[in-house]
Structure 1
Amino acid sequence: MRLCNINGISSKSDEVKIFCSGNDLIGLTETKDRPGLPDKMFRDGRSFNVFRRARVGRAGGGVALVVKKHLAGKRRSDLERAEFEFVAVEVSAVNIIVGVFCGAPDEISEVLPKFLKHLSKILTENDSQRFLLMGDFNCPKINWHSLKSNVAYEQCLLKFLKEFNLKQIVLLPTRKSNTLDLIIVPTKWYINSVNVVSPPASTNDHDGLSVVLCLPKIKSIEPQKIVWKFLPENIMPFRSALFEVDWKVILRDKKCSEMTLLIENEIISKALQFFNKVRLKPKRFSCSFPLSLKRAIRRRDTAHRRYVRATNEDCKNRLRGVWKTYSKTCDLSIRNFMNRKLQDIATASRQNPKKFWSYVRKSVDKQGMPILRCGDQIASTDEEKAEALNTHYSSALISCMSHCSDSVVTCKTPVSVENFVNETDIWEALKLVDISKSIGPFEFSNELIKICGSALIAPLKILFNCCLSDRKFQRLGKYHILRRCQSSRVTLRFLKVGDR
């Protein structure tokens, strides 16, 4: 990571690109940014993302944060304010928020206390132990060894660090004999090195900073599944409330896409009046080794600790041989144990496939899909990843105009589909809904459809007939609306309409 006051980007773009190369995070202050200045002035190639902010109302100033693309940086505009030269970026790959600040020397005494007050609200709402702040603070009178100052606005900064358990890691001067460029991190973070480096160009009046951080392993928050908790005594009142809804009035003169949203919102709002939603904690699984294998692992770890602690060269070489022997034996035992376990599962799965799938779900090697990028947007959650993949694959579908063409339907008498689907067809389709299927993040679950029962027939009849009329089949809940009716007479009639 690097930080520098570059004193204008226009005249030293190539030097700044060299200064940024080989680093993951680069904070730049005093960029003298202006409208129309392209991002390529700040970055070299396409391996970086640039997040910038210009000074408003006067010349000079400006901040920028250059982030490697594999770190998946995302702008946090909700944390920024127009009156501050401050840019905030959430780095999803390491789960931290990075901010770059710059204060003008003639305004810092008034701006810094207001900025720290704004920053206090941010750290109160977010986790202060995953926040990194750097920039040109223009606080020359602070003694960072004793953490003392006689200036009022500098005392506000020291009080802010103490309140949120933060530390400032730059102790060397960055401009003549003053330490103006600061890097603020949580006290729990381990700092490998902090060095003063040469600035990008000779016209810079500030030295650059090069920092190597060892970020702590942050426990990822596992998503909790939200499910409906249905009370048997409230099912009949819920159905009665749905029967009282005048669906013809609600869905009158609406498009198919609007109908699906209205139906879902109306049913969910009624369900929230009678039922509650609860969060299910994710189950944790672990693979237990036999006692003999645990002892082998313990011997290997003990031999490694003794090898690391040894100071005598002869003793170190001897302990290294012992550790290598134990390590080779232990790895072989673990491999044989896993192979035997997989063989037992594969043999048993011929008669009992549940054992195989139980092992797959409990596997500790199971990993989620990495963060995806779709154009200029970053997909980090499961819903965003699904939409990104869907958009990518659907955009690759190109109709063949040379061999395939739409069939032209010629019919003497037009076919009316206004009441093509009746109540019996929908009721038969609703019986086939499987409540054991996963619904993902959608609130309109299969179990909720079952609870609705016959009260769902009236809105679905209007929706299905509208879809057939417009030849546009919408999505209801997680699945495509046609998939709700698979293996039913409704599906057969849909096919007949398609054939016509």
Structure 2
Amino acid sequence: MEGHRLFRKDRQGRRGGDITLYVNGQLECMELHLGMDEEMTKSFWVRIKGRAGTGDTTVGVCYRPLNQEDRVDEALHRWIGAASQSQALVLMGDFSHPNIYWKDNTAGLKHSRRFLECVDDGFLRQVIQEPMRRGAMLDLVLTNKEGLVGNVKLKGSRGCSDHEIMKFKILRAVRRVHSKLTTLEFRRADFSLFRDLLGRVPTISWSASKEV
């Protein structure tokens, strides 16, 4: 796509499962590396620099096969946990957890319950509300900031794919908040004066007795 920067990760030895992301060429961005074993799964992470006065946005793209091994799932969960520390995160892709009921946040299988725990630990919310693939919700959009993702629409499938196209907007990251919290510098404290003032506090002596 002309005028865009391409990020991609191809699945070796098998057809399908490739993931790509195009970023507008006018935006400053860079790929992030969150772990040593990042080749285990089909995912990548890109940081898009915000304009003056706004924070950066981390965008993740993921493809998770239905029969993915537990050790690979755990690696993905670690990366999600690391990415959720970003000021603004949008994570999208096919996660292959058809048995998750997002309305009540429950799942029937162990690996799906573990994924829900990962989502809860990262304080992420899932913004897709309608099932998109034969009544199942496999394609997800997760974010850690209220109002960051909006105008979510389903646009039908393309070609012979049984996935529906998701169209949504990533809104500008909120302005950075400068904390006005005051912290005390104890290294500059006058402890001799403190001890002197404490010594002037009257001491009250008391005793108690108990009759049997």
| TM bracket, shorter-chain basis | 0.7 to 0.9
Mapped partners of 1:48, 1:79: distance in 2: 26
In the alignment, which residue of structure 2 is the partner of 1:158?
A: 116
Inter-partner Cα distance in structure 2 for 1:71 and 1:132: 16
Q: Give the superposition deviation at 1:208.
A: 0.8
1:204 pairs, out of 161, 179, 186, with 161
Query: What is the rounded CA distance, in whole Å, between the counterparts of 2:69 and 2:164 in structure 1?
Result: 20
> What letter matches 2:119 in structure 1?
L
**What aligned pairs does 1:72-221 form with structure 2 within 5 A after superposition?**
72-78=28-34, 81-93=38-50, 95-107=56-68, 111-123=72-84, 127-201=85-159, 203-219=160-176
Counterpart pick for 1:70 among 7, 22, 26: 26
Change beyond 3 A, Cα 1:78–1:155:
closer
Return closer, same or farther for 1:154/1:129 CA change in 2, 3 Å cut-off.
Answer: farther
Alignment length, in residue pairs? Answer: 173
1:129 aligns to what SS in structure 2?
coil
Q: What does 1:212-361 correspond to in 2, within 5 Å?
A: 212-219=169-176
1:51 aligns with 2:12: no
Contact 2:58 2:83 in 1 (8 A): no
**Residue type matched to 1:194 in 2?**
V
Q: How far apart, in 1, do the equivalents of 2:81 and 2:61 lie?
A: 15
- Once the two structures are TM-superposed, the CA of residue 48 in structure 1 deviates from its matched residue by 0.8
Letter in 1 for 2:76: F
Using structure 1 for the length normalisation, give the TM-score.
0.32
Identity %: 21
Q: What is the 5 A alignment of 1:411-450?
A: none
After superposition, the CA RMSD in angstroms is 2.3
Distance 2:31 2:91 in 1: 15
Q: 2: distance between equivalents of 1:207 and 1:200?
A: 7
SS at match of 1:112: helix
- Would the alpha carbon gap of residues 78 and 185 (structure 1) be closer, same or farther in structure 2, given more than 3 Å must change? closer
* Structure with greater Cα Rg: 1
Shift in Å, 1:72: 1.7
Q: Is the 8 A contact 1:53 1:63 kept in 2?
A: yes
Q: Which amino acid aligns with 1:163?
A: D
Q: Give the letter for the 2:138 counterpart.
A: L
Aligned pairs for 1:332-481 (under 5 A) are none
Q: CA deviation at 1:60?
A: 2.7
**Unpaired runs of at least 5, structure 2:** 179-212
* CA–CA separation in structure 2 for the residues paired with 1:96 and 1:190: 10
Letter in 2 for 1:199: S
Task: State the shift of 1:57 in Å.
Answer: 4.6
Distance 2:88 2:99 in 1: 28
The alpha-carbon distance between structure 1 residues 74 and 128, as it changes in their structure 2 partners (threshold 3 A), is: closer
In the superposition, the TM-score normalised over structure 2's length comes to 0.72
Q: Structure 2 CA distance, aligned partners of 1:179 and 1:151?
A: 15
- Quote how far apart the aligned CAs of 1:190 are: 4.5
Distance of 2:176 and 2:104 partners within structure 1: 34
- The 3-state SS of whatever aligns with 1:159 is helix
Q: Greater helix percent: which structure?
A: 1
Distance in 2, Cα, partners of 1:79 & 1:69: 27
- 2:193 equivalent in structure 1: none
Q: Distance in 2 between matches of 1:111 and 1:90?
A: 23
What is the deviation of 1:111?
2.9
Once the two structures are TM-superposed, the CA of residue 156 in structure 1 deviates from its matched residue by 1.4
User: Which secondary structure state, in structure 2, belongs to the residue aligned with residue 157 of structure 1?
Assistant: helix
Q: Which has the higher contact order (CA 8 A, sep 6+)?
A: 2
User: How has the CA–CA distance of structure 1 residues 86 and 107 changed in structure 2, closer, same or farther, with 3 Å as cutoff?
Assistant: same
How far, CA to CA, are the matches of 2:23 and 2:32 in structure 1?
14
Secondary structure of the equivalent of 1:133?
strand
Q: Which runs of 5+ in 1 are unaligned?
A: 1-42, 222-500
User: Post-superposition shift, 1:83?
Assistant: 0.9
Q: Relative to structure 1, is the Cα distance of residues 103 and 53 closer, same or farther in structure 2, using a 3 angstrom cutoff?
A: same
